[in-house]
Amino acid sequence: MRLTDCHNIDDFRRLAKARLPFPVFDYIDGAADDELTKARNTAAYDSVDLVPDVLAGVETIDTSCMILGRKSALPLMLSPTAVQRAFHWQGETAVAKAAEKFGLWFGISSLATRSIEEIAALTTGPKLFQLYVHKDTGLNTHMIERCQAAGFDALALTVDTIVSGKRERCLRSGFTTPPRFTPASVWSYATRPRWTLDYVLREKFRLPNLDTHVSEGTNKAVSIAEYFNTMLDTSMDWDTAAAIRQQWGGTFVLKGVMSVADARRAVEMGADAIMLSNHGGRQLDGSRAPFDQLPEIVDAVGGQIEIICDGGVRRGTHALKALCSGATAASGGRLYLYALAAAGQDGVERALGILKDEIERAMRLMGVTSVDQLTADRLRARPVL
């Protein structure tokens, strides 16, 4: 299978599986417990039908929209995801450059393998930083100050990782950051020589936004679960969130909100946006899908705060269904991670090009010429009968 054989996100997943050692692929692909929520995140979009209008004159369409105060060429964001250097040697560099080329928001994680300053120098496009709150308050402050100095456009506080979900595929494979070769996995690494040589011979794996304060993840191999369970602050509460918002002083997002009550509290505290997210099904298995929860959240706080539907997006029509259901935009991580793992920047650009084509085609077939038409008319998305 080659990159030119990839015509949808599932194709990139198959190519990534063929090219990655299984512990690395399972880290991207896996989720918590029985992985029911991960599956539901995508399946939820099947519960709603699109209702097209015809004879609408769609020769010219506008797919752009405003997200968090900046213009996006598509109603789609590339969610922050951790340790991208483990998936392809280009890591976040590839995703940042592809996002800028397509005019999209791009986020990096606290656990990114490129520094805040490197990403800021790479792109003038809209940039979001995902903050994990550590027990080390000095580290939290240091990351926020670096983002301020580097000119990041928004800060997203992740609120659904007080402890790690039980990611059983990672428990079986022994995946750590940095990745390490174990007796159970050495054959898989040996039979993926391109990945293995890139990992061994190119620049060293590190977590440059953390390694000023901690050795875990860079010089000391740990699992993501171990990192979350030992390094992150389990006492984080609404007062913590308010203090971080004040310290940041810019566009502020809460990532991981799922309940109506929490959405209302986000409005009350002055957050600019919420990302409806269950962390890609990697935390609480059995939780609702963001798209399933979207109508309740929109009914409660729509118009008062931006609402980004995060997770499960595999098609351009999924993004349009989210908009028709009241979201400001859709976002996802695996939708570009599979492509990054499969072919680096070329893969991400091909994946984004496919999603762009799907959004444009679907808008014409629905008889709409702008994203505003979709967000203004919730009747265009109906529950499946």
Q: Which residue has the higher pLDDT, 255 or 374?
A: 255
Q: Which residue has the higher pLDDT, 381 or 243?
A: 243
pLDDT score for 382: 74
DSSP H or E segment with residue 149: helix 137-150
Average confidence (pLDDT) over 46-68: 94
Task: Summarize pLDDT for 82-98 with one digit per residue, the tens.
Answer: 999 999 999 999 999 99
Could you tell me the two tokens for 226?
A: 């171990």
pLDDT score for 270: 97
Residue 124 exposed, middle or buried by CB count within 10 Å (0-12, 13-18, 19+): exposed
Report residue 380's pLDDT band, with 50, 70 and 90 as the boundaries: low
pLDDT score for 378: 62
d(CA 329, CA 350): 21
Q: Which residue has the higher pLDDT, 55 or 214?
A: 55
Query: In sequence order, what are the residues at sequence separation of 6 or more whose Cβ sits closer than 8 angstroms to the Cβ of residue 358?
Result: 315, 316, 317
The SS3 of residue 152 is coil
The DSSP output letter for 207 is: -
Q: Facing residues of 35 across strands? A: none
Say what percent of the chain tops pLDDT 70.
Answer: 98
For all residues of the chain together, what is the average pLDDT? Answer: 94
**pLDDT over 80 (residue 219):** no
**pLDDT over 80 (residue 218):** no
Which region among 4-8, 107-111, 180-184, 341-345 has the lowest average model confidence (pLDDT)?
A: 180-184
Active-site annotation holder among 88, 134, 279, 318: 279
Report residue 165's pLDDT band, with 50, 70 and 90 as the boundaries: very high
User: CA 37, 73, 130, 144: dihedral to nearest 10 degrees?
Assistant: -170
pLDDT score for 112: 96
**pLDDT over 70 (residue 61):** yes
- Is 279 among the catalytic positions? yes
Average confidence (pLDDT) over 46-55: 92
Average confidence (pLDDT) over 6-25: 97
pLDDT score for 3: 96
**pLDDT over 70 (residue 385):** no
Task: Summarize pLDDT for 275-330 with one digit per residue, the tens.
Answer: 999 999 999 999 999 999 999 999 999 999 999 999 999 999 999 999 999 999 99
**pLDDT over 90 (residue 179):** no
Task: Summarize pLDDT for 95-154 with one digit per residue, the tens.
Answer: 999 999 999 999 999 999 999 999 999 999 999 999 999 999 999 999 999 999 999 999
Cis-peptide into 52, omega within 30 deg: no
